Amino acid sequence: MLSFARRLLGRPLPRRESDSQRLPSLIALPILSSDALSSVAYATEAALGVLLLAGSGALGLSLPITVCIVGLIAIVVLSYRQAIEAYPEGGGSYVVARENLGAWAGLVAAAALLVDYTLTAAVSLMAAAQALSSLLPGLLAHETSLSLLLLALVGWANLRGLKEAGRLFVVPTYAFVVMVALLALFGLQNIVFAHGFRPDAPPAIAALEPLGLFLILRAFSAGCSAMTGIEAIANGVKVFREPSARRAQATLLVMGVLLALLFLAVSGLAYLYGIAPNPDRTVLAQIGLRVFGPGNPLYWFLQISTLLILGLAANTAFAGFPRLAALLAKDRYLPRQMAWLGDRLVFQNGIGLLLLVSALVIVVCRGNTNVAINLYALGVFLAFTLSQAGLVKHWWVRRGQGWSGRLALNALGAFTTGVVFAVIVVSKFDEGAWIVVLLLPLLVWGLAGIGRRYKRVYDAIELKPGEDCSVPWPDRRDPLENQSIVWLASWSRPTLEALRYAAQVSDRVIGVWVCEPEDDFEALRLRWHRLVGDAPQFELRLLESPFASLIDPFAQFVAEEEARCPGSQFTIVMPMAIPRRRFDHLLLNQRGLNMREALNAQHSRVFTLVRYFPPA
């Protein structure tokens, strides 16, 4: 089983290769921007679809709406560049809101982004499956299965690591950008030298609703789907090679310029050619037919590149969701295992969770985007607003050179994205947005509940100042012919009780701490000395793990000690906090349980679980 997993996902990568797994800007751009750039394929059509309700005469408003959205893109991109400058370690909206507006605002931003990332993955893959079935009608009955297959492919690529994902996504993303750029250039040539700048009349379609401000705002909010994914670069600063913050800022600017130009080109050509939404052919495909012609290979290249980028746009979610989940886990708002690095130096538990939830959305929607699309963009605009509001406070408190201009830009960003969020809630509430409006508070409540439970448990097991934390060696004459190896993961009451137990049943106690890169060796040795003093029967072993796994070095150490002392009896002592509530087993002891399984997989050993019962 292990060898199959290694062949499927690749060999474990040593920690020293973590920097080599970071990406140059040219590869990071398609990984983190595929969602935003792919929106060019459907954002114009989304706005036109709403305007068409007022009749074909209202379609001309798509161009000023596009210009307004491009202005909003510029504000958000420039604002997020400032967010990267202020928080170069990354984290995006969650970190900015948490640091400036408080923990609750941070949780709201995090919940909004978790929902948005999940919908991004599901909607993108369902849209790709629908695009493929439109080319091959025989697949119409299998769109759900096809969406799940594409989900598995994208998940597998991300589990293999950043570089592997980059190789898969670079060519389709750049191919789409090149094809839309060629569409714009050929279309401009046709308009200048043949067609002229006078727009064609769209097909005559009767109005179903009067053209009013509310309808225009609905069209604007639909077109704002072009902005989903912009925040991914600010969340994933650590994906870039050093200097990561500067590279992320430059890449974000390039992405913003590309998105604005391509979006303007598609909307402008649709306006000049008098194109209206058609259930049998997308707006982008209709423009391609007018510019390239039906028999031109460039038309097919445009269609195929569109199909591919729609499928691969899900990768933006796979780049952002696991990192955000890891940040939440480090702050103890999600189970701690969400912050564990896998063998391929990616947050594999976060990727697995996203795979599971996205698959559930696809199955519930039966591979059809009509339901999920109405929930789209709501979360991201809420996160935009909280991030910009947080930066307003950041510049107000920090001041410094040029602070007033930065504050003004972020205040403008907070106001505009807040208005768009309100418009989306009102205009799409009956179409499904109510689901997200209900889901977000529940998700925030769940995250906060996990945080409260962790705080209560950790407060209970924490060693308090002035508490008796000594581990005396018992006075006995006869040897016990037993040695204990104690797994050390924290300085806590369960650890203290485990050491005291080991001293009672052993002639020698070895405490083993498998170090992570941020651990301070001297601080660990000092804390150990405070517990056990100078008793020679106690030994501390600090192990460095060349790989992400903390379990393998401990298991290897146990095997080496047993081989070195073949006649000795060893007891593996593991401190455990015993779950008292239904879901405690998801929060506590996961690494210890994995350790026990790994040691038992080699051969049977004597285990002692020293139990500690946290409060209910």
Q: Evaluate the omega torsion of the peptide bond into residue 579 and state whether it is cis, within 30 degrees of 0.
A: no
d(CA 171, CA 165) in angstroms, rounded, equals 11
CA distances from 227 to 46, 189, 375 (A): 13, 28, 14
pLDDT, position 103: 93
pLDDT, position 517: 79
d(CA 339, CA 225) in angstroms, rounded, equals 30
Residues forming a β-bridge with 574: 609
Task: Let me know if 212 is exposed, middle or buried by CB neighbors in 10 A (0-12, 13-18, 19+).
Answer: exposed
pLDDT, position 1: 47
d(CA 537, CA 500) in angstroms, rounded, equals 12
HEC string of 532-583? Answer: HCCCCCEEEEEEECCCCCCHHHHHHHHHHHHHHCCCCEEEEEEEEECCCCCC
User: Of 45, 26, 228, 224, nearest to 124 (Cα)?
Assistant: 228
pLDDT, position 535: 82
Question: Which residue is it, tokens 């008098």?
Answer: 274
User: Of 591, 350, 593, nearest to 490 (Cα)?
Assistant: 591
Task: Let me know if 424 is exposed, middle or buried by CB neighbors in 10 A (0-12, 13-18, 19+).
Answer: buried
User: Of 258, 195, 236, nearest to 36 (Cα)?
Assistant: 258
d(CA 377, CA 381) in angstroms, rounded, equals 6
Nearby residues of 103 by Cβ (< 8 Å), 6 or more positions away: 451
**pLDDT tens, 410-422?**
899 899 889 888 8
d(CA 242, CA 248) in angstroms, rounded, equals 10
| CA 57 and chain centroid, separation | 41
Q: Rg of the Cα trace of the chain?
A: 28
User: Of 490, 352, 393, nearest to 82 (Cα)?
Assistant: 393
**pLDDT tens, 323-336?**
899 999 999 999 88
- What does 471-528 look like in DSSP terms, one character per residue? -PPP--SS---EEEEEEESSSBHHHHHHHHHHHHH-SEEEEEEEEPTT--HHHHHHHH
Q: To 5 degrees, how large is the angle CA 330–CA 35–CA 124? A: 100
**pLDDT tens, 4-33?**
556 666 666 666 666 666 778 888 888 888
Q: Are strands 508-515 and 569-577 parallel, antiparallel or unpaired?
A: unpaired
Nearby residues of 209 by Cβ (< 8 Å), 6 or more positions away: 53, 54, 215
d(CA 205, CA 415) in angstroms, rounded, equals 36
- CB contact at 8 A, 354 and 117: yes
Q: How many CA atoms lie within 13 A of 366 on its CB side?
A: 4
DSSP single-letter state for residue 75: H
Name residues of the chain where pLDDT drops below 50: 1
The one-letter amino acid at 601:
A
Backbone angles phi, psi at 228, to 5 degrees: -65, 135
Question: Which residue is it, tokens 């759900």?
Answer: 144
Q: What stretch of H or E contains 610?
A: strand 606-612
**pLDDT tens, 95-149?**
889 999 999 999 999 999 999 889 888 888 887 887 777 667 777 778 888 889 9
